[in-house]
């Protein structure tokens, strides 16, 4: 036995380690078997089911005081938690824009939590894994190799990172030190009315105020109106405002529209504005050689926000911010503190500390699931799956366009299809109510989960396909079910 083995100490000290590692191993194997079955049999279950009242009540029990056996706690998971998922791992879940997850992603999360490093910085391997993942995306999007990046919780945080760098770089004064109130000239940011509301959160958090986000109207394809944008920037300058940034959308959340990203890059450089692209899911179209031209201009952005938990199907949470100028990025977040001084040797060494590039100091090892997934599947397979989802959206659009009683409500430019049930002689107001009811019955039946939006006053069923498990037949089922429910409601309401 080694000299420093103290395992048989006389002190009665506690730990969270198990008394029996063999029992833990056994329980762990059961968990693996259960979750692999859960994933492989997902198609046989309802997409979603309502949570019974007694199950909800279970989550009001008082604070546990004393230890219990780990397998008992796990049994509670099996009974009260596992059967009531959101449903997004199911092949017929197309609500909002939510990814599907993978078995590899699940296991990578376990491995990352087992190693449990803090990826705020230092000379340990997780930092190199994250740096490599970022470098891969720099290559994917055609950013210069000297660009910087950060893995974050998702698109919302990536937008905050990009827009913080935009604000700090273009304010024209030391905003980190002086604060936004230093200048009496309001700083303004431009994007279309279809921009995701995480951008509003970002401008509010950045102290610019919601009014500083100038919402520009869109054309019939839901893309930003370029002429209008130029006019508003000119008007704002004439009124003494200080434009700092244009936001381009690569895939809007309502309809999947992609702005003219090249035109926006031109305007940004002519007007000396920061160019941020919110490409939460749509930017990933760049992975498919056939779709890449849809997002041309993206590579000219100063900063790009995108998600890996949507169209790269990785488990929540993981998104990424890329910034063209590493120095601008670092200058927005780095601080020097004695207790964080970067050493030359030891664990405290390492040149790039991710805590210098974002809000968080302590950071999890989310890079591992990205690294393992990309290695296993290869980037081309992602491109094919993305294209497959886009083709499925086109297939669904075709089904709708050739069906009686269905109407499409927006052009299908990428992976999002907006449509509704219609019937002769039923007015707009009633149609909105009927389609809302169709959606709820679809969810409650467990057959499919689309979400909803309102387009030009019309309530729309909205199908956003970021699902590697969906097959064409799933869309046939959706269309049949919507028509069936729609006709049943018409019948009940005696509208026919
Ligand atoms: C989902 C989404 C976001 C927000 O990303 P999260 O990962 O949910 O934080 C931002 N923009 C667009 C276009 C999105 O679709």
Q: 280 C-alpha vs ligand 1 centroid, how far in Å?
A: 5
Q: 113 C-alpha vs ligand 1 centroid, how far in Å?
A: 25
What string of H, E and C letters represents the secondary structure of 253-289? CCCCCECCHHHHHHHHHHHCCEEEEECCCHHHHHHCC
Ligand 1 pocket test target in 98, 150, 154, 222 with most atoms within 8 Å of CB: 154
For the CA of 155, the closest atom of ligand 1 is: 5
The per-residue pLDDT string of the chain (496 residues; one tens digit each, 9 = 90 and over) reads 566 777 666 778 999 999 999 999 999 999 999 999 999 999 999 999 999 999 999 999 999 999 999 999 999 999 999 999 999 999 999 999 999 999 999 999 999 999 999 999 999 999 999 999 999 999 999 999 999 999 999 999 999 999 999 999 999 999 999 999 998 899 999 999 999 999 999 999 999 999 999 999 999 999 999 999 999 999 999 999 999 999 999 999 999 999 999 999 999 999 999 999 999 999 999 999 999 999 999 999 999 999 999 999 999 999 999 999 999 999 999 987 666 677 889 998 887 899 999 999 999 999 999 999 999 999 999 999 999 999 999 999 999 999 999 999 999 999 999 999 999 999 999 999 999 999 999 999 999 999 999 999 999 999 999 999 999 999 999 999 999 999 999 999 887 6
Q: 250 C-alpha vs ligand 1 centroid, how far in Å?
A: 11
Task: Tell me which residues have their CB closer than 6 angstroms to ligand 1.
Answer: 97, 154-156, 196, 198, 251, 253, 278, 280-281, 307, 319
3-class secondary-structure state, position 245: strand
- How many angstroms separate the first and last alpha carbons of the chain? 85
User: Which sign does the torsion angle of CA 118, 121, 123, 127 carry?
Assistant: positive
Q: 102 C-alpha vs ligand 1 centroid, how far in Å?
A: 20
Q: 151 C-alpha vs ligand 1 centroid, how far in Å?
A: 14
Q: 198 C-alpha vs ligand 1 centroid, how far in Å?
A: 7
B/e letters for 342-378, b = 16+ CB within 10 Å, e = fewer, are: eeeeeeeebebbbbbbbebeebbbbbbbbbbbbeebe
Residue 90 token pair = 């199911």
In angstroms, the CA 62 to CA 125 distance is: 41
- Bridge partner residues of 94 (DSSP): 450
Q: How many CB atoms lie within 10 A of CB 260?
A: 17
Residue 212 token pair = 């500083």
User: Which sign does the torsion angle of CA 353, 358, 362, 367 carry?
Assistant: negative
In angstroms, the CA 353 to CA 364 distance is: 13
Give me the residue label for tokens 């995480």. Answer: 198
Contacts of 337 (CB under 8 A, 6+ apart): none
3-class secondary-structure state, position 464: strand
Among protein residues, the one with the nearest Cα to ligand 1's atom 5 is: 155
Give me the residue label for tokens 């130029």. Answer: 230
Model pLDDT, residue 5:
73
Tens-place pLDDT, residues 79-116? 999 999 999 999 999 999 999 999 999 999 999 999 99
What string of H, E and C letters represents the secondary structure of 5-51? CCCCCCCCCCCCCCCCHHHHHHHHHHHHHHHHHHHHCHHHCCCCCCC
Verify cis geometry, omega within 30 degrees of 0, for the bond prior to 317.
yes
Pairing of strands 406-408, 187-192: unpaired
In angstroms, the CA 400 to CA 120 distance is: 49
Pairing of strands 416-421, 406-408: antiparallel
The structure's pTM equals 0.96
In angstroms, the CA 86 to CA 105 distance is: 18
Ligand 1 pocket test target in 162, 195, 307 with most atoms within 8 Å of CB: 307
Model pLDDT, residue 8:
67
Looking at residue 77, the DSSP 8-state letter turns out to be: I
3-class secondary-structure state, position 401: helix
Give me the residue label for tokens 């279970």. Answer: 58
3-class secondary-structure state, position 246: strand
What are the strands, taking DSSP E only, across 157-232?
187-192, 213-216
* Dihedral class, residue 297 (left if φ above 0, else alpha if ψ from -120 to 50, else beta): left
Among protein residues, the one with the nearest Cα to ligand 1's atom 14 is: 280
For the CA of 282, the closest atom of ligand 1 is: 13
């Amino acid at each position: 036995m080694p000299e420093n083995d103290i395992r048989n100490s006389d002190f009665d000290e506690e730990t969270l380690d198990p008394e029996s590692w063999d029992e833990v191993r056994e329980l762990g194997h059961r968990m693996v078997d259960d979750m692999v079955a859960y994933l492989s049999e997902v198609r046989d279950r309802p997409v979603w089911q309502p949570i019974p009242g007694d199950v909800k009540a279970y989550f009001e029990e008082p604070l546990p005081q004393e230890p219990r056996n780990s397998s008992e706690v796990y049994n509670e998971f099996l009974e009260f938690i596992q059967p009531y998922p959101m449903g997004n791992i199911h092949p017929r879940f197309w609500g909002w824009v939510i990814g599907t997850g993978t078995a590899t992603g699940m296991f990578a999360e376990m491995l990352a939590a087992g190693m449990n490093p803090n990826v705020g910085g230092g000379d340990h391997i997780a930092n190199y894994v994250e740096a490599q993942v970022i470098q891969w995306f720099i290559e994917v999007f055609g950013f210069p190799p000297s660009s910087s990046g950060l893995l974050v919780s998702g698109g919302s945080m990536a937008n905050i990172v990009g827009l913080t760098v935009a604000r700090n770089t273009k304010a024209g004064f030391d905003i980190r030190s002086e604060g936004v109130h230093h200048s009496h000239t309001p700083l303004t940011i431009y994007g279309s009315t279809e921009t995701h509301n995480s951008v509003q959160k970002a401008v509010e958090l950045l102290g610019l105020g919601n009014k500083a986000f100038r919402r520009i109207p869109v054309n019939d394809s839901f893309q930003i109106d370029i002429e209008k944008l130029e006019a508003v920037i000119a008007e704002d300058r004439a009124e003494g405002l200080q434009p700092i940034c244009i936001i381009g959308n690569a895939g809007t959340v309502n309809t999947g529209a992609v702005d003219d990203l090249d035109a926006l890059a031109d305007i940004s450089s002519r007007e000396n504005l920061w160019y941020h692209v919110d490409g939460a899911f749509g930017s990933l179209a760049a992975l498919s050689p056939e779709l890449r031209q849809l997002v041309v201009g993206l590579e000219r952005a100063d900063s790009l926000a995108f998600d890996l938990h949507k169209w790269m199907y990785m488990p929540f949470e993981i998104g990424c911010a890329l910034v063209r100028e590493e120095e601008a990025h670092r200058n927005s977040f780095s601080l020097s503190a004695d207790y964080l001084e970067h050493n030359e040797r030891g664990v405290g060494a390492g040149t790039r500390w991710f805590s210098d590039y974002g809000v968080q100091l302590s950071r999890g090892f989310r890079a591992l699931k990205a690294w393992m997934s990309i290695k296993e599947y290869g980037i081309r397979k992602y491109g094919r799956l993305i294209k497959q989802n886009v083709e499925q959206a086109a297939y669904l659009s075709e089904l709708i366009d050739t069906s009686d009683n269905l109407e499409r409500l927006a052009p299908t430019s990428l992976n999002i299809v907006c449509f509704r049930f219609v019937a002769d002689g039923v007015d707009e107001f009633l149609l909105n109510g009927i389609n809302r009811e169709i959606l709820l019955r679809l969810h409650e039946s467990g057959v499919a989960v689309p979400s909803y939006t309102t387009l030009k006053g019309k309530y729309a069923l909205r199908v956003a396909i970021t699902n590697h498990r969906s097959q064409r037949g799933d869309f046939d089922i959706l269309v049949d079910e919507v028509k069936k429910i729609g006709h049943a409601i018409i019948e009940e309401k005696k509208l026919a």
